[in-house]
């Protein structure tokens, strides 16, 4: 199941790309059921595999995974382990699906905030040089949201590109809602790109 990056709806031109190509370091395998797309030198057989985007040196950081088993990690093992744990989040809402009375309108899977927070922390602790790239792509470029059960959101009390602190109505019953994920920075834990305002997963405040 796709977790970190899930591109299930893609422009039609993706169908005419070679089986393997590269975009900003990502290894991309193309091929869709019932559609045969030969590679550039016509030496490989046509593929029917779905689109996979896996970051070089990892086996779990991308759409799905290319690992042979749970213990199979890539060269950047620390970061890969972070992606593996993220993939195994036990509370997700897949693209265009509804759960907890929330409908995910995006084209990729959204996760419970606790899973995204663990992923953020894990990448920050990783000694691998690519951890910051993975974090930047997921938290800053993908610009996803997470969900959790909390008191109803009234408004955003503190905002810096993302909501950093929510005003919640604690007189009401808790319910599942969407929350912004923080911007990722490779510097101090939970600090923004300019290392000025602390950015973490927005907490519950009335």
Q: Is residue 10 part of a domain?
A: no
| Residue-level pLDDT at 160 | 83
C-alpha span between 93 and 159 (Å, rounded): 26
Q: Is residue 40 part of a domain?
A: no
Q: Is residue 11 part of a domain?
A: no
Taking only the tens place, the pLDDT of each residue in 65-110 is: 999 999 999 999 999 999 999 999 999 999 999 999 999 999 889 9
C-alpha span between 119 and 113 (Å, rounded): 10
| Residue-level pLDDT at 64 | 85
Query: Does position 126 have pLDDT exceeding 60, yes or no?
Result: yes
Question: What residues are annotated to the active site?
Answer: 86, 116
How many folded domains does the chain comprise?
A: 1
Query: Does position 5 have pLDDT exceeding 60, yes or no?
Result: no
Taking only the tens place, the pLDDT of each residue in 127-156 is: 998 999 999 999 999 889 999 999 999 999
Q: Is residue 206 part of a domain?
A: no
Q: How far is CA 136 from CA 25, 47, 92, 105, in A?
A: 14, 31, 21, 22
Q: Supply 5's token pair.
A: 């990056």
Do the Cβ atoms of 60 and 80 come closer than 8 Å? yes
C-alpha span between 47 and 6 (Å, rounded): 19
Q: Is residue 89 part of a domain?
A: yes
Do the Cβ atoms of 113 and 147 come closer than 8 Å? yes
Q: Give the CATH number for residue 153.
A: 1.20.90.10
| Residue-level pLDDT at 36 | 39
Residues 6+ apart with CB under 8 A from 177: 102, 147, 148, 149, 150, 152, 153
Q: Is residue 121 part of a domain?
A: yes
Stretch 26-37: mean pLDDT: 39
| Residue-level pLDDT at 2 | 43
Angle at Cα 159 formed by Cα 192 and Cα 143, nearest 5°? 65
**Proportion of the chain above pLDDT 90, given as a percent:** 56
Determine the structural domain holding residue 142 and report its residue range. Answer: 56-180
| Residue-level pLDDT at 200 | 54
Q: Supply 1's token pair.
A: 């199941």
Residues 6+ apart with CB under 8 A from 12: none
Q: Is residue 98 part of a domain?
A: yes
Query: Does position 22 have pLDDT exceeding 60, yes or no?
Result: no
Q: Is residue 136 part of a domain?
A: yes
């Amino acid at each position: 199941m796709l977790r970190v990056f899930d591109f299930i709806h893609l422009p039609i031109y993706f169908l005419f790309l070679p089986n393997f190509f590269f975009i900003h370091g990502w290894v991309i395998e193309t091929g869709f059921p019932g559609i045969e797309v030969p590679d550039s030198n016509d030496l490989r057989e046509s593929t029917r595999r779905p689109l996979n985007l896996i970051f070089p040196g990892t086996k779990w950081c991308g759409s799905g995974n290319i690992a042979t088993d749970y213990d199979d990690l890539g060269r950047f093992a620390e970061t890969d382990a972070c992606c593996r744990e993220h993939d195994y989040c036990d509370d997700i809402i897949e693209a265009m699906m509804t759960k907890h009375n929330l409908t995910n309108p995006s084209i990729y899977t959204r996760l419970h905030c606790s899973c995204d927070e663990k992923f953020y922390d894990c990448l920050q602790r990783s000694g691998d040089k690519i951890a910051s790239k993975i974090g930047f792509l997921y938290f800053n470029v993908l610009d996803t949201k997470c969900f959790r059960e909390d008191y109803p959101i009234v408004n955003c009390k503190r905002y810096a590109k993302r909501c950093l602190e929510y005003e919640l109505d604690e007189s009401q019953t808790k319910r599942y809602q969407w929350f912004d994920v923080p911007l990722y920075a490779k510097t101090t834990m939970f600090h923004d790109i300019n290392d000025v305002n602390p950015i973490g997963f927005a907490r519950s405040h009335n």
